[in-house]
Structures are given as structure tokens and as C-alpha cells.
Amino acid sequence: MRPSMRKSDQMRPVSMETGINKWAEGSCLIKMGGTHVMCTASVELNQPLWKRQQNKTGGWVTAEYSMLPRANATRKGHEQMQKDHRSAEISRLIGRALRSVVDMELLGRHTINIDCDVIQGDGGTRCASITGGFVAMAMAVRWLMMRGRIHENPIREHVAAISAGLWNNELVLDLDYDEDCVAELDSNFVVADGGKFVEIQATGEQHPFTREQLESLMNMAATGCAQLIDLQKQVLE
């Protein structure tokens, strides 16, 4: 039995609350079990400098990920966080995931900055950041459209992310920290509407894994992300 008493393909309770920051053009507090992430989307009414310098058209979406000092069991100061290579890698992942479903030409000469701040971490923080970050981004796009800055929605489809792995010789979905820290296989899946995969991160931390195991995890992740996308659509209605 899993530490949380969940079934192998059962996700933790998930909630998304929008409008949690009155200043940001888009914001979402996502809770996946004990993992809580505040996602805010800030709009800049111009392109990033590198696009202007290269005379490129279209907009851009970028992301930054960080954890508050006491998001985990052991405090990590702000200075340590700034030097954390893991945070930089996750920031790039979030940015790639969100850009994959956005038409940059339709976004126009605008930049959307997504900030994902982990308030409390209990496994799957990068996946929660992508899922909640999408909601914040969609609200920022809505803000641009309501003000006539753009005239067509540049978001082609929804995208979400979830973890899966091999724990105690069993394939399980949505690992919490107790499972993640001892998992034999740890993986993260970014999935768009219709079960289309954007990115797969999988590591056999204790021993190699088989193609059949990976395919089973992909099927579990596709089902889990479909549920997350349904929730995204509900909170954005």
C-alpha cells in the first residue's frame, strides 16, 4: 500500500484557485496534495530584448521557478536558492512546456513572465508549476484580449504535467515526497490536449527500466493529465 493509501493510478487531491494576486495579469494557486505552488503571470507590453535586437516578430513566454526558504523540511536561504541549478533547469522546463502550446505570432509583441513559487513542497513541484502556470498564462492572455492588445487567442491547446514512477516494484502515478525519494524509476510527463506528449523526463535511478514500463507510465500520465486539463478548463470558465 502506498504511504498515502492511494491506488496505483490515483492522483492526490487537486485544486486550483485563480485571482490570488490582485496585481498580476494572471494568477493561480495550485495544490496537489501537500505541494502548493503560487503561479503568477506578468505581461510586458514589448518583446524581450533579444528578440528586438534580432528584429524578430512575435511575442515570448518565459518562466522562473523558486522555492520559499521553508517550503521543505529543511530551510534553504534565498542566497542558496539563487545558486540552485535545479531551479534553473525547472524554470527552463516550465518555459518550454508553456511555449509549446502558444502561437508566438498571435501573441504579438508581448512577453508573458510566469513566476512559480513553491510555498510548500511534497513532490511533483515542477509538474504542479506547469499545470498552474498554464492557468495563470491563460488569464494573462485573456487580459491582453480584453484590452484589444491582441485579437485572437494564441493558446492552441491546454497543457499539464504529472509525475509517475516505479515505487516498491509497482508503477504509480503522482508521487509524493515519501515515494519520490526512494523511487526506483522517477519520471515527469508534460502532456497536451488529446494525450499528445510535449516532454518526457525519465530516469532509472536504481536500475534500467523497460520499454513496456515506460509505455505503461505514459498511459497513466496521459490519463492523469487529461483530468488536470479538465480541471483547468473548469476554473477558466
Residue 189 belongs to a domain: yes
Q: What is the CATH number of the domain that holds 26?
A: 3.30.230.70
CB atoms within 10 A of CB 152: 10
Residue 3 belongs to a domain: no
Residue 116 belongs to a domain: yes
Task: Tell me the torsion sign for CA atoms 186, 191, 237, 153.
Answer: positive
Residue 106 belongs to a domain: yes
Residue 154 has a pLDDT of: 98
> Is the confidence at residue 79, as pLDDT, over 70?
no
The structure's pTM equals 0.95
Grid cell for residue 214: 515506460
The mean per-residue pLDDT over the stretch 44-71 comes to: 94
75, 124, 203, 158: CA torsion to nearest 10: -140
Residue 127 belongs to a domain: yes
The mean per-residue pLDDT over the stretch 114-123 comes to: 97
Least confident segment among 43-47, 77-81, 87-91, 108-112: 77-81
Q: Mention every residue, 6+ apart, whose C-beta is less than 8 A from residue 190.
A: 93, 97, 100, 130, 159, 160, 161, 197, 198, 199, 200
Instruction: For residue 13, give the DSSP letter.
Output: P
**141 neighbors 155 (Cβ within 8 angstroms):** yes
Rounded to whole angstroms, what are the CA distances from 103 to 18, 57, 145, 149, 228? 23, 12, 14, 15, 22
Q: What φ, ψ does residue 8 adopt, rounded to 5°?
A: -60, -35
Mean pLDDT of all residues belonging to the chain:
95
| 81 compared with 140, residue with greater pLDDT | 140
Residue 82 has a pLDDT of: 62
The mean per-residue pLDDT over the stretch 15-21 comes to: 97
Residue 211 has a pLDDT of: 95
Residue 5 belongs to a domain: no
**114 neighbors 132 (Cβ within 8 angstroms):** no
The mean per-residue pLDDT over the stretch 156-177 comes to: 96
Rounded to whole angstroms, what are the CA distances from 202 to 47, 55, 72? 34, 37, 23
Residue 229 belongs to a domain: yes
Residue 75 has a pLDDT of: 84
The mean per-residue pLDDT over the stretch 118-146 comes to: 98
Number of domains in the chain: 1
Share of the chain above pLDDT 70, in %: 97
The mean per-residue pLDDT over the stretch 82-106 comes to: 93
Strands (E), the chain: 14-18, 26-32, 35-44, 60-67, 111-120, 159-167, 170-173, 185-192, 196-204
Task: Report how far residue 216's alpha carbon sits from residue 132's, in angstroms, rounded to the nearest whole number.
Answer: 25
CB atoms within 10 A of CB 236: 15
> Is the confidence at residue 74, as pLDDT, over 90?
no
The mean per-residue pLDDT over the stretch 130-145 comes to: 98
Domain that holds residue 18: 14-235
Residue 1 has a pLDDT of: 84
Q: What φ, ψ does residue 24 adopt, rounded to 5°?
A: -75, 145
Q: Per-residue confidence at 84, pLDDT binned at 50, 70, 90?
A: confident
Residue 7 belongs to a domain: no
Q: What is the pLDDT of residues 201-219, one digit of tens each?
A: 999 878 899 999 999 999 9
